Amino acid sequence: MTAPPVMNELGNWWDRNAPTWASDATDYIGRIWNEGAYGLTFGQIITVFLIMGFAIIVRGLFARTLVVWITKWAAGSATKIDDALVKAISTPLKIIPVVAGIYASIQVLNVDPTIELYASRIIQSIVTLTIFWSLSRASRMLEYILVDVKQSLSGPAVDWMIKALQFILVALGLGAVAQQWGIAVAPLLAGLGVFGIAVGLGAQDLFRNLISGLLIIGEKRFVPGEWILVDGVVEGTVVRINFRSTLVRRFDQSPVYVPNSKLADAAVTNFSRMTHRRIKWAVGVEYSTTVDQLKTIRQELEDWLMQDDRIAKPPEVALFVRVDAFNASSIDFLIYTFTNTTNWGEWLKIKEEFAFAVMDIIERNGAAFAFPSQTIYMNQEDPPEIMSPPESRTPPAKRLPSPDNNKAGAQGSTSDEASSASELGNDSD
């Protein structure tokens, strides 16, 4: 860098008028300042740090003032398109001060032309990627522009279109950067095509799931937020339809990632598209219930259903309350009706109130609920002979009285005396 004329005149005046020691010190500091490091003077290094620090400060002020102001301005409008646009470009806009700081630093350094060339290419690449990145993020506003298309197709279909557009924009940005570095794009695309064929042969499941996802979206089998059932696979609420799999959250809040091919090839029950919810009961009463009681109960049950606004009425749906069958231990009523609501909680509440009404009607008419029972009838023409044990001819043994100690002692003495008398008698013989 060439010093300004004012600095040269000031230097000359210092050399003529400064003391020797001051001039030597100035020369010493100048040599150190000019030697620097890594081929750069300390002046250049300090200048670059000052420029980049200023760029970072400007970036912070830019993010806290201009971006915030634009965001608030967009939030005040009625449409959501400008909100999506501002949200998309706010982050890339913060890169502008940093890129400007890098460019200014390169100009200050006065580096080698080769290094300057590569640095310029790097800056161009950053600017190019920033532009295509901004366009990719801004494509999300198509979600609000294509509202009519979203209603005619489906939300996931529009989402897939936006994702495909974002992928194309990123690919174009990378291609533009490759051209800036002198890389031929056409041979690269040809090589990628051959590589893609090889990958496709080994990733058949991936492409099958991708096509299955397109079929699901095209047929509108289900959309996020709907309750589905696939026998042997999953039951729950659809959260998101991805390129390869569909995220379904079960009722215990566990996420299940189901490959799209399993949902495209299987029978899917979509409960969220029900127009009504069904109530089908078999209510049994005892066989002792009379015909008049059965007719009265049937009529009162039907009247309750017909008078409740929450119950769907014919001819929109079927409604039956009939004596239907003679069961093993009951006479059964068939109650077949539908509710207007499809909400599970409201449906349970209606069922509960109707169950209370059924109990009240049956009890009020003097009938009772039947329960499984069996009656056993025993008919014996020749009753069995009752056997009794024979009487015992042996008299029962008499129980000896408990011995008395005093009497026992006396009897012992008498026995001894009798013994002695017997011996004396024998001797006398």
Mean pLDDT by 10 residues, the chain (429 residues): 60 70 71 63 74 79 68 65 67 75 75 73 82 78 64 65 79 80 70 60 71 79 89 91 89 92 88 92 94 95 94 93 92 96 92 96 94 74 66 60 50 44 42
Q: Let me know: does 241 contact 217? Beta carbons within 8 Å.
A: yes
Q: What's residue 177's pLDDT?
A: 81
142: its two tokens: 């198509």
* One-letter amino acid of 262: K
Q: What's residue 373's pLDDT?
A: 74
**Which pTM value belongs to this model?**
0.47
| Nearest-angstrom CA–CA distance, 87 and 67 | 9
DSSP string, 369-381: B-----------S
Contacts within 8 Å (CB) and 24+ apart, 174-178:
176/128, 176/132, 177/125, 177/128, 177/129
**Residue 368 DSSP code:** -
Q: Let me know: does 305 contact 311? Beta carbons within 8 Å.
A: yes
| Nearest-angstrom CA–CA distance, 383 and 381 | 6
Q: What's residue 176's pLDDT?
A: 81
| Nearest-angstrom CA–CA distance, 337 and 280 | 7
Q: What's residue 250's pLDDT?
A: 94
Q: What's residue 292's pLDDT?
A: 95
Q: Which of 215, 199, 197 is nearest to 261 (CA)?
A: 215
Angle in degrees, CA 119, 121, 126, rounded to 5: 95
Topology of 277-364 in CATH?
Alpha-Beta Plaits (3.30.70)
Q: 204-273: what CATH class?
A: mainly beta
Spatial neighbors of 322 by CB under 8 A, at least 6 apart, are 298, 333, 334
Domain boundaries along the sequence of the chain: 1-29, 36-181, 204-273, 277-364
